[in-house]
Each structure stands twice: as structure tokens, then as C-alpha cells.
A = this chain, B = another copy of it.
Amino acid sequence: MTIYEKVCKTFYNNPSLSKILVVVAVSGGAGGGLLAYSDSKSYQAENDVFPQLEVVNKKKKVVVLGTGWAGTSFLKNLKNPSYDVHVISPRNYFAFTPLLPSVTCGTVEARSICEPIRKLVNKKDLSVSYWEAECLSIDPERKKVTCRSTQNADLNGKAEFSVDYDYLVIAMGARSNTFNTPGVEENAHFLKEVEDAQKIRQSIIDCFEKAALPTLSEEEKKRILHFVVVGGGPTGVEFAAELHDFVNEDLVKLYPKAKEFVKITLLEATDHILNMFDKRITAFAEDKFHRDGINLQTGSMVVKVTDKDISTKALKNGGVISSMPYGMLVWSTGIGTRPVIMNFMKQIGQTNRRALGTDEWLRVEGTGEIYALGDCATIIQRKVLEDIADIFKKADKDNSGTLTVKEMQDVVDDILERYPQIELYLKNRHMKSITDLMTDAKGDAKKEAVELNIEELRAAFSQVDSQMKNLPATAQVAAQQGTYLADCFNRMEECEKNPEGPIRIRGEGRHRFKPFRYKHFGQFAPLGGEQAAAQLPGDWVSIGHSTQWLWYSVYASKQVSWRTRALVVGDWSRRFIFGRDSSRI
């Protein structure tokens, strides 16, 4: 069985595997406001014009900030009509961000990956309204968000407005991280929003037109046609590969003289590109880039950027600083926190974090009814060792001071659910169950007779927390979180009565919901020249032309609407037949 057949088989056996996504950047935008209407039924699905304000507390008001992967996935899956939902975001559309690198070179058109959020939330039963505005601040005390229209809208002199909420869902995504490198903000292109991709597309053509002008020296031409990508992650790599294809398949035909001057450089601070992938993928990608003539510089960190030069520092060899002239720079090194999130974190006492910390149910720590998901949030998984005393107390029903295997087995499901790191640890140690861990701690004692006191339990669990990992900032995570949270909201009342979560270790009763659990379906890395790499769960790796076709089918299937699906597939076909367009619009 070839690797391709394997992959296909997995794909067909497990329909949910169509959730495999290479995920670049999830973004969002702004906050949402809540006002209940005296006659909310007659305003159902009228998400545009604001009726008389008369606040009646019939429905719980949910304000969703952001229309990226997390926010949209939440909105798409929310079905319970007992909420009034208000969406606030500066972007009135959802963008399929994993295809942004394709938009930069015109393989796919910008509009083909966008779907108006109003269309996505236009449901019969649910009252959802959308406001095109940016969230400026969140006030958890007064349960209010302050927003500002993204246009120069004079709202009768009031540029800002504030919106109440009962539940707040923060899904504003992140911004690009420049690591405060001087000159990056001013001179680099980023690749987070649709507008970024459109600007990059124009800039590429600009460089080629600029270099074609008369009276330019060869040196100037070389500089202008030097494209630099910073960041060897999937986005940077895919962009470099797309650009290489665009230049070699389309642009050289129209700018034949430019060929000898074009150079693409990929800068990566660590030793290898795609280092979150399997080594085989990294090796293949590096080798392919080498053959393609893409100048790969690993171990080199950008320290300064001016309008014409990039200064880099070699991380080995004594940190030599060198400089290279460039024409265009795309910066794709990771994500940073949006200022409004940063301020909110200060307010609620979360400092020194890269994102809003939430519990395992996506609730922001230190607040009441505020949820955060997607790139702006990070789940703070409780450590087993921190809770070990409570765990012991909970499990030791007879208060004997020792824990038998029988006692442990009564709570084991709850504990495994509450602390997923235990399961990961057992798997890595090739253990079957938590009992093995207990017997292991007691040496050669008989399984049924094992009894541990609290210190022995602590010792048995001493290593499990090392398995804790932050979730990656991907669309896949954000989308799953959105779906999870919508499901919680859909069954809020039901689960209030019949809680289905694990037992509360440090309290009484059970948690209402099961905690969020991420399921990784794998990740793609398109490498250009109709080749791609994919890393699937279980360390399956697939590389080559067939993987590109798998990529096509997965990405087509994951589109949010039939319209975007048809457009994206149409764009791919158009590219095969006519190539990419180089009109400077």
C-alpha cells in the first residue's frame, strides 16, 4: 500500500478527517453588544437596523467579538433560540485564511475565500445582528464593551458606542508579531488579513514593473527583485513557494528579462524550516527549495529593517551581523496580542501571558461570563500536582488516609477527563490505565492490594504534568473551540440540570460540561510546483504531487459555503488553464 493509498483510506474511513487543515492565521476583530428588544420576535433575522431601545430581559444577550475562525464557527453552530446574539467585528465577512498565501499570487481570488458573515448567520430561529465596528475596551465589571465604527461614520457626533452583554465571547484573533524589530512595522508586509494578501499581490507586480523601467542600474534591478520572506513556518514557506511558482510559471513570460534578477530568500531563525513538522517533511522542503533556487537562510535572525536593507544576525558563528538589500519583505514569524486584549488582561490581573488565559471550558480566568477562544486565548490546563491533595481527598471515600485501586477506579474517568495530560503520559509510557501507574509506584505489590498514601500518590503522578502542551494557534483549534462553545451554549439549561462534566475536584457536584478537548487531524504544507506535504495523526507523513491533490480536495471540502467552494475550485481551474493574472489592480 503506497502512502497515498494509506492517506486516502484514512480519509475515507474517517469522514471527520476532512477537518484536516493547514492553518495559518486566525483573526477576528471586535466586540458585540447586547440589547434586548421589547418585541424581539418581530426583529428576528433583522440584523441591520437598530430598533427602538427598550431593554427587556427576556433573552440572554450574547456578544461575539470577531468573525474569524473561532467566532464564525461558534455562530454557525449556535442553534438555541433563547439567545439574542450580537456580533461585532471590523470585517463583515469570514475569510478562509489557510488560502491567503494563494491569494497573494492570484492563484485564488480574494473574494473567493470570503463569505459575508450576515449570510452565514442568517438563520430562521436565531436572532443574530451584526455591527461593523472595532472593540476598543471590555468592562467586565459593568458587563459592557465599547466599540467604534471602522468607518468615518459620524453617529450623530458619537463616534463610539457601548454594548451590554450577559455572555461575552472574545474571538478577536491575534496580530502579527514583529518582536519589536525596528523598521518591520513600517516596511514589511504581513499575511493575516485578506487586505494583506491583496497588497502583497500588488507589491509583487509593482516590483516587476519598477525593475522594468529604463535608466535603472543592474544593481537597482537586483535589489528591487529580491523578495525576502521572514519566518519558516507553514505560512512563510507556502508564500515563498507560491511566489516562486508565480514568477517561474507566469511572470517570466511577460517580464523575460527579469528572470536573471529575481531572487527569493527565506529567513528562519531556527536551524530548520517547518520545524513543527516531521523531519522527513522538513528535509524534503529544504531540498526542494534548494533545487528551486530559493535562497534558504536558517539560523539567521532579523535585527533591523530599513526601506532598502535587512540586517540579520547569524545565531551561530559568533553572531555576525550582515545586511542584504531587498525589494519586498513579507513578515510571517508568529502572532502577538492585540492591544485591546492586552489592556483587558491587565484589567483582570492576567499579566505576563501571550494570550487571554481560560479554563478548560474556555471561560476567561478571573471573570464571570466571558469566554475566549481562537488565537487570542490560551487554555490554562490545571496541573495534577497542584490538585493532588484534593484529588486524594475526593478519591479516598472512606477517609482512610490511603487510596485503594478500587477507590481510584471509581473516579478514574473523571480524573482522566479533567487532566488529559495523564492519558498522554500513560500512552507515552505504554501503560494501559491509571492503575498501572499506582502499581508502578508500589513496586512489586499485588495489583488489587495496592494502597497509596498521599505522598505516594504525589510521587506516582510527579511526571504527568510534563505532558502539558499549549494548543497551536491554528484555524483547526479555533474552529473546534467555536463548535465546542456553541454546543455548550446550545445545551446550557439542560446541562445546568443534568451536568455531564467530570466531578468537581475542589468543590461539590459535577461540572456542567465536559472540558474542551482538541482533536488534531493533521496539517498540510504546500511546497509549490504542485507538491505538498501532509502530516497526519499517528505520524503518517505524505509528500508529493498526490498530497497536493489531497490538499485540493480537503480545502475544497472545508469551504464554508457552496459559493466559495465553487469559486475556489473555479479559480484553481482558471489557474491551470490561463495562469495567474498580473494586472496591477
The interface of chain A, by Cβ under 8 A from chain B, is: 33, 35, 45-51, 53, 91-93, 106, 109-111, 114-116, 118-119, 122, 129-133, 149, 151, 153, 155-156, 158, 161, 163, 194-195, 198, 205-206, 208-217, 220-221, 253-258, 261, 562-563, 566-567, 570, 574, 577-578, 581-585
Contact = CB atoms under 8 A, between A and B. Distances in A.
Nearest to A117: B583
A45 B221 CA distance: 19
A113 to B, nearest CB: 10
B116 A212 contact: no
Contacts of A256: 45-48
10 contacts: A33-B214, A48-B212, A50-B216, A92-B583, A109-B109, A109-B111, A111-B581, A116-B582, A132-B213, A153-B210
A364 B280 CA distance: 68
Nearest to A216: B155
Q: Which one of A119, A151, A567, A585 has the greatest number of beta carbons of chain B within 10 Å?
A: A585
A447 B370 CA distance: 102
A195 B566 contact: no
A156 B194 contact: no
Contact of A149 (B48, B210, B258, B567): B210
A197 B214 CA distance: 31
Given A581-B114, A583-B93, A255 B49 contact: yes
A582 B120 CA distance: 12
Nearest to A225: B49
Contact of A49 (B156, B257, B562, B578): B257
A581 B563 CA distance: 9
A254 B119 CA distance: 6
Contacts of A258: 48-49
Given A110-B585, A116-B581, A210-B153, A215 B49 contact: no
Contacts of A214: 33, 35, 50, 53, 131, 161, 163
A156 B114 CA distance: 41
A115 B583 CA distance: 6
Given A253-B122, A254-B116, A50 B212 contact: yes
Most buried by B among A158, A214, A562: A214
A360 to B, nearest CB: 35
Nearest to A35: B214
Contacts of A151: 206, 209-210
B581 A161 contact: no
A379 B194 CA distance: 47
A585 B114 contact: yes
A11 to B, nearest CB: 28
Contacts of A577: 563, 566
B585 A198 contact: yes
Contact of A255 (B48, B110, B153, B220): B48
A256 B45 CA distance: 8
A213 B566 contact: no
Given A582-B118, A583-B116, A257 B48 contact: yes
| Residue of A91, A116, A118, A567 with highest tally of chain B CB at under 10 A | A118
A195 to B, nearest CB: 7
A192 to B, nearest CB: 14
Contacts of A220: 155-156
B48 A211 contact: yes
Contacts of A562: 578
A574 B111 CA distance: 12
Given A109-B109, A574-B567, A212 B156 contact: no
